[in-house]
Structure 1
């Protein structure tokens, strides 16, 4: 994840350094990220937050320019609260993804430099990937950022339909962990959350330590 970006005409091939992962399981979703924040080749922060709660049933991961991503988060939080007040029900996950996609598309001439994953549970689990031009896709497993090629190697070899919660958490943490081993822009630990019928909750540090210990 980058702290800043120069909005010139020529966009660099690599605009962000991070690893984010989303995994759908039988009754919910898992979102996981690394914690390293980079500024070019400089490590600017080792405890950066890249997963945020949008509503009780919605979460988002961010990669890209921090300021742009934070603006997207604020707008989505407002939209989710407004939807809940107007409809007396939570915003569907697909609607949140559509809102984010429309926001990115509306800024396509002066793009918001961020990739986001929106995941949640509205009676059924869902994860959507949205790029900075507004392209949106529904996924069962997905990764973004510079560490995503390594993460995908883990996800594609081990994901299967019908995963249990603990299996999905282990898979997401494992994918980020191995990405950190080979991608210099990702590192400094793993954050992970579960979103299901019980709501949004963070995976406790002991669970993450146990998973990582089993990999070494």
Structure 2
């Protein structure tokens, strides 16, 4: 099944020594038309898990809100924090159930359990664990930067700078990406969000 009509975006996730940095640019485009220049594509799901999405804005919002609600129910039932792999599996089940009318979104789930964890999900719900990842139309450019510069056990500041550099690099070659970068840092202390401008 091909997803040629997936709206463009660049989203990256990078693990570091104490957590995960998720970054996404803010542009929403469809074909050669820029629909919006200020869309948030990073979402806290629980206190220790976040998600970043590329694709249809409605689909990614519905998916994240549904998983956020299910994670709250799971936490009440088990009286424990919901692990990143559990959040990724919840998303996977929802996406696979919708495989004949798929949610047109690619997702990176990142968080902290015993150690930092990152999972990539495609629109059919495949779950791929990794130390760093990129999805969207600018993924190849972003991965080129991360392949060259990622190191295990990086500091939060180094991971943050690498995420910004990777997304910024993608926006220079991918017309579907641009207009600022949202960052979501997930650590044992919780989640923190910030926005940085794109300077070419």
Residues 101 and 130 in structure 1, CA contact (< 8 A), matched pair in contact too = yes
Residues 9 and 138 in structure 2, CA contact (< 8 A), matched pair in contact too = yes
Residue of structure 1 equivalent to 2:139: 148
Q: How far 1:14 moved relative to its partner?
A: 4.7
Any gaps of 5 or more consecutive residues in structure 1? 1-9
- Counting strand residues as a fraction of each chain, which structure ranks higher? 2
Q: How far 1:120 moved relative to its partner?
A: 0.8
Any gaps of 5 or more consecutive residues in structure 2? none
What does residue range 23-172 of structure 1 map to in structure 2 within 5 Å?
23-172=14-163
Q: How far 1:11 moved relative to its partner?
A: 4.6
Q: How far 1:151 moved relative to its partner?
A: 0.3
Residue of structure 2 equivalent to 1:177: 168
Further displaced range: 35-44 or 21-30: 35-44
Further displaced range: 103-112 or 180-189: 103-112
> Aligned residue pairs: how many?
200
Residue of structure 2 equivalent to 1:7: none
SS of structure 2 residue aligned to 1:38: strand
Residues 123 and 197 in structure 1, CA contact (< 8 A), matched pair in contact too = no
Tell me how far apart the structure 1 counterparts of residues 93 and 178 of structure 2 sit (CA, whole Å): 31
SS of structure 1 residue aligned to 2:24: strand
Tell me how far apart the structure 2 counterparts of residues 190 and 69 of structure 1 sit (CA, whole Å): 17
Tell me how far apart the structure 1 counterparts of residues 14 and 116 of structure 2 sit (CA, whole Å): 10
Q: How far 1:156 moved relative to its partner?
A: 0.2
- Backbone CA RMSD of aligned residues: 1.5
Q: TM-score, normalised by structure 2?
A: 0.95
Q: Deviations over 1:86-121 (max 9, x none)?
A: 111111110110111111111111111111111111
Q: Deviations over 1:53-98 (max 9, x none)?
A: 1111111111111111111111111111001111111111101101
Q: 2:8 aligns with which of 17, 21, 24?
A: 17
